[in-house]
Copies of this chain bind each other. A is one copy, B any other.
Amino acid sequence: MKKLINHVDNIVDEMLDGMTAAHPNRLRRLEGTTVLVRKDAPVTGKVGIVSGGGSGHEPAHAGYVGPGMLDGAVAGEVFTSPTPDQVFEAIKAVNGGKGVLLVIKNYTGDVMNFEMAAELAEAEGIQVRQVVVNDDVAVEDSSFTSGRRGIAGTVLVHKIAGAKAAEGAALDDVHAVAESVIKNVKSMGMSLSPCTVPAAGKPGFTLGEKEMEIGTGIHGEPGVERTDIKPAAETAEILFHKVFQEMNMQAGDEAAVIINGLGSTPLMELYVFHHAIDRLLKDKDIRVEEAVVGEWMTSLEMAGVSFTMLKLDDTLKKLLDAPSDTVSWKRG
């Protein structure tokens, strides 16, 4: 294991302090917790939004904390759900009097711990709603999941629910728009090489020298097929068609697209991949309102990519285009 770290026990702690050191005007760490909130939290009269999960997916989720997106992000250990008390601290810190929405990726531990935190908060009189993101169409159940996994589509939930909250909308309305994104966003990934959880010290799975895996999860959970490495264009077709067939989209419809590198795949290759995706979108006559190509929801140093598509209507489009000012997602 070759990692630029000090000790496996201190990675998350040092990462969080490194983030606040780099972005002192944007982020604040709640003392004694693994929670980062926006500097000015809580914002009075605005619904607070909290997301989070295991670490190792950076910039998710603290990179999306700031005006127009999240109010707080809770970091667990690497690939491990944060505990309910940490989530509870985040909820309390971002509650500006209009309640708090929790955006949870669909993993059993996350769902359980965020729900327990919601109960703790409600017991203290804080109104909490939650949504569970399950955009990964690869498999129905998985190592850590009942139902579909939540992956890079989660970032679009942050963006759009965050924009709605920034308008001053009520908790029910922020919740409804988040559900609308979840209903309309689908993703699927693939990997060329695994990643190593620092505390484990060895890769979570192995792939042969000429092998790739289709449908891998962001923690290295098994996908749907192992094959010889295919050209980027063919790989794009596999992911695109599986996603598209779930989308209920027609010629002329509008979409937002995320090409998400999982960690060690160079940006060069992500653009080569997007070149293929763009042709497939044109073949279907899908109009792309926004395409982002980069690293948005990573899996440590895994090599691979995921493809995310969100079907837009006028409401979602307006909120997608609204201003946001976070470390990793700046608009307007």
Chain A interface residues (CB < 8 Å from chain B): 2-7, 11, 14-19, 21-23, 55-56, 58-59, 63, 78, 192-193, 209, 212, 229, 231-233, 235, 259, 263-276, 278, 291-293, 295, 298, 300-301, 303-305, 330
Contact = CB atoms under 8 A, between A and B. Distances in A.
Contacts of A193: 2
A25 to B, nearest CB: 10
Contact of A272 (B15, B232, B276, B303): B15
A271 B5 contact: no
Quickly give the copy total for this chain: 2
Contact of A5 (B4, B6, B55, B231): B231
A272 B14 contact: yes
Nearest to A328: B294
Given A18-B293, A272-B11, A6 B231 contact: yes
A21 B275 contact: yes
Nearest to A15: B271
A47 B303 CA distance: 40
B264 A264 contact: yes
A272 B4 contact: yes
A254 to B, nearest CB: 14
A6 B263 contact: no
A54 B187 CA distance: 33
A93 B276 CA distance: 28
Contacts of A21: 274-275, 278, 291
Given A14-B272, A330-B330, A4 B192 contact: yes
